[in-house]
Amino acid sequence: MVEIPVRVGILGCGNVGSELVKLLTRDAELIFSQTGERFSITRVAVKSKNRERPSWVDRSLLTDDADAVVSGDDVDIVVELMGGISPTRELIEKALVNGKSVVTANKALLAAVGAELAQLARSVDRDIFFEAAVAGGIPLIRSLRVSLAGERVRRVAGIVNGTTNFILSAMSESGLSYEDALALATEAGYAEADPSADVEGEDARAKAAILATVAFGRLVRFEDVYREGITHITAADIDFAKRHDYVIKLLALCEVSDKESASSDRIAVRVHPALVPADHPLALVRDSFNAVFVTGEAVGELMFYGRGAGGLPTASAVLGDLIDAAHNLRYGVTERQLDREVAMIVPMNEMSSRFYIAVDVVDQPGVLAAVAQVFGANLVSIRSMEQIGMDTEARLVFITHTAPEDSVKRTLDELRGLDSVRRVAGFIRVFDPS
Ligand SMILES: NC(=O)c1ccc[n+]([C@@H]2O[C@H](COP(=O)([O-])OP(=O)(O)OC[C@H]3O[C@@H](n4cnc5c(N)ncnc54)[C@H](OP(=O)(O)O)[C@@H]3O)[C@@H](O)[C@H]2O)c1
């Protein structure tokens, strides 16, 4: 192997960028001995050059001119670790047009314009890699893209947001309310000052779009992914789940629509909380960890588990991409990524599952019959029912048999219209592991 260093320009030197600089400098010999690649960091763009940096960052490499990184003749590969959509998109486009391959960890950008960037990369014979954009340090994208390239993947079901998993774990294990668990997550540094992208499921939605595209080879866009967050999950929901051997998790679920035929073109992609059977491996994923369960026709069931975020784990995934991008540049090849034909998406109201439904009613004779009548009229069959008494009110908690979304939504609307129903207090889908 010829020892010509690959010149790396990095956009951003924050949590991930600074850890990447550490790996590339500290482990340079190890990387060379294992991969035959040498890397030389030539420029690192930051917003503020005066900000304090970790001791291993060579300040002479810092610039506040991001444009110089994507245009410079001394950069072969641009690693984008600054986040955001603009000017990040324009910078990546410029890097590609200038003949540089790109590595990014930016799921929001990819979910929005990943296909366009991938098309541009292809048109200029360069790569855009993004392993770290989904599930941080877990080598998931490469496994789907390379190891499982010939596999008929039927389902990808995962916990891909560490913040919400931390919150739900704290609610389940310490009996905290949603608000107290969120405060704990903020204190522990897992939740941002504005946690909405995490708790409303937007972050998981972007990751689900990327995962589905890679797993099924069809372009799934951000707006194709149905989304619900965890803000409505209550301690009572968690308590019911526990007593009935379930754990509530925020799941990203990507499936071929007809599980009997993996060749089906229609893809169902959604993010929502779900009751996961307590003995399923996903139920055992605690704290801020991520895990993704992949089901393939030939390979069967696989589980990928690890740190879904954090500077160092994420930098590890970025480093793997950097090595791939360097190899490809050296051998003059590229890999096809997100530029795929657009997927046919199954509308949410056509999907079916079992449901947990909690209804607060006035405690008087005949109410249960009236409520059950609404379920029956909409052909939603009840699998089990529990009554939790209160003084003048009672809570009726139902688990349904598998039923279509639109029937269940109609049922809820009609229940809300009954005089004896105070409110629908809980509504969560039940994950079907089969
Ligand atoms: N952190 C994680 O655990 C994690 C996990 C997976 C993926 N990611 C993704 O990785 C990316 C980076 O995340 P991070 O946590 O490292 O972010 P961060 O700590 O906020 O760092 C962002 C860096 O970008 C620089 N920057 C921002 N705007 C800039 C501009 N216009 N020009 C030049 N530099 C600019 C900042 O400069 P200053 O330092 O001067 O402010 C900072 O160094 C994001 O896309 C994120 O979604 C992060």
Tell me if domain 6-137+312-331 and domain 348-430 are identical in fold.
no
Cβ atoms of 233 and 425 closer than 8 Å: no
**Residues in contact with ligand 1 (CB, 6 Å cut-off):** 11-17, 45-48, 51, 66, 81-83, 87, 105-106, 132, 136, 309-311, 314
- Residues 143-150: contacts with CB within 8 Å, 24+ apart? 143/294, 143/302, 143/304, 144/211, 144/214, 144/215, 144/294, 145/214, 145/335, 145/337, 148/215, 148/294, 148/296, 148/299
Of 150, 143, 101, nearest in space to 328 by CA: 101
- For residue 82, the CA-to-ligand 1 centroid distance in Å is 3
Cβ atoms of 305 and 138 closer than 8 Å: yes
Task: List the chain domain ranges.
Answer: 6-137+312-331, 147-305, 348-430
Q: Identify the pLDDT of residue 18.
A: 98
Enter the CATH code of domain 348-430.
Answer: 3.30.70.1150
> Going by C-beta distance under 8 Å and a sequence separation of 6 or more, which residues neighbour residue 231?
178, 199, 200
The chain-wide mean pLDDT, for the chain, equals 95
Ligand 1: nearest atom to the Cα of 106: 45
Task: For CA atoms 127, 131, 133, 134, give the dihedral sign.
Answer: positive
Ligand 1: nearest atom to the Cα of 13: 43
Q: Could you please report the per-residue DSSP string of 55-99?
A: TTS-GGGEES-HHHHHH-TT-SEEEE-S-SSTTHHHHHHHHHHTT
- For residue 198, the CA-to-ligand 1 centroid distance in Å is 17
Ligand 1: nearest atom to the Cα of 136: 6
Strands 300-307 and 289-296: antiparallel
What percent helix, strand, coil does the chain show, rounded to 5? 40, 25, 35
Counted residue by residue, the chain has a size of: 434
Of 195, 214, 213, nearest in space to 203 by CA: 195
The stretch 72-91 carries a mean pLDDT of: 97
User: Is 90 exceeded by the pLDDT of residue 92?
Assistant: yes
- Band (pLDDT 50/70/90 cuts) for residue 393 is confident
Candidate from 65, 110, 314 with most ligand 1 atoms within 8 A of CB, to mutate? 314
- For residue 105, the CA-to-ligand 1 centroid distance in Å is 9
Q: What's the number of CA atoms in the CB half-sphere (13 Å) around residue 148? A: 27
The answer as to CATH 3.10.20.30 being correct for domain 147-305 is: no
CB-count exposure of residue 132 (10 Å: 0-12, 13-18, 19+):
buried
- Name the pTM for this structure: 0.94
Candidate from 16, 53, 106, 109 with most ligand 1 atoms within 8 A of CB, to mutate? 16
- For residue 121, the CA-to-ligand 1 centroid distance in Å is 22
Of 198, 203, 166, 81, nearest in space to 132 by CA: 81
Q: Identify the pLDDT of residue 264.
A: 55
- Band (pLDDT 50/70/90 cuts) for residue 260 is very low
Amino acid residing at 98: N
Express each pLDDT in 341-370 by its tens digit: 999 999 999 999 999 999 999 988 899 999
Q: Identify the pLDDT of residue 160.
A: 97
Structural domain 6-137+312-331, CATH architecture: 3-Layer(aba) Sandwich (3.40)
Amino acid residing at 372: A
Express each pLDDT in 218-238 by its tens digit: 999 999 999 999 999 999 999
C-alpha dihedral, 10 to 15 to 18 to 24, nearest 10°: -80
